[in-house]
Amino acid sequence: MFRLLFVLFIIIPIIEIFVLIQVGAVLGVWPTIAMVIFTAWLGAKYVRQQGLATLNSVQTKMAQGQIPSDEIVTGLMLLIAGVLLVTPGFVTDFLGLSLLIPAVRHSIVGSVKSHITTNSVNQQSFQFHSHSHGQPQDDFSKQQESPFQENIEPPHKGQTLDGEFERKD
């Protein structure tokens, strides 16, 4: 984990500064700044467009009762692409723009899916039985005596009661 943070916060900015200086020496300061701003604008535009398409796909799959696992990973990659594109520099712009290419995203989704195992859980019913020394107890058939509660007959099996409740203390 330390190596990853070291690369993210030390090595990548050093590479970005080096590339910016090299491009600035060839093209000049203002064209370099204009290119960085243009790539950020273009990337934000495409991230928004593809993000909305991914959101529509997620909603469609959920409406059909399917799990949108691919779309969730795609949405995460689009978020990372947006962060990379807004970060000034050509290396991060290149990485961010590469994440906007659907073929690249699909290959990453495939590799992520191969590393993640999903367990399907069968729906099973859970029943709780309470017995007291060989004598079954039915908690609903017992009347509970309480100074705050009136003695009310339990409903018969299969009968539904409808009513209002008002607490009087």
pLDDT digits (tens, 9 = 90+) for 79-122: 888 888 888 889 998 998 898 888 998 888 888 777 765 543 43
In the structure, what pLDDT confidence band is assigned to residue 123 with cuts at 50, 70 and 90? very low
d(CA 9, CA 169): 63
pTM, whole model, 2 decimals? Answer: 0.60
Instruction: Give the pLDDT of residue 155.
Output: 53
**Number of other CB atoms surrounding residue 15 within 10 Å:** 15
Query: Measured in whole angstroms, how far is the alpha carbon of residue 120 from the centre of its chain?
Result: 19
165 or 138, higher pLDDT: 165
Contact 75, 54 (CB under 8 A): yes
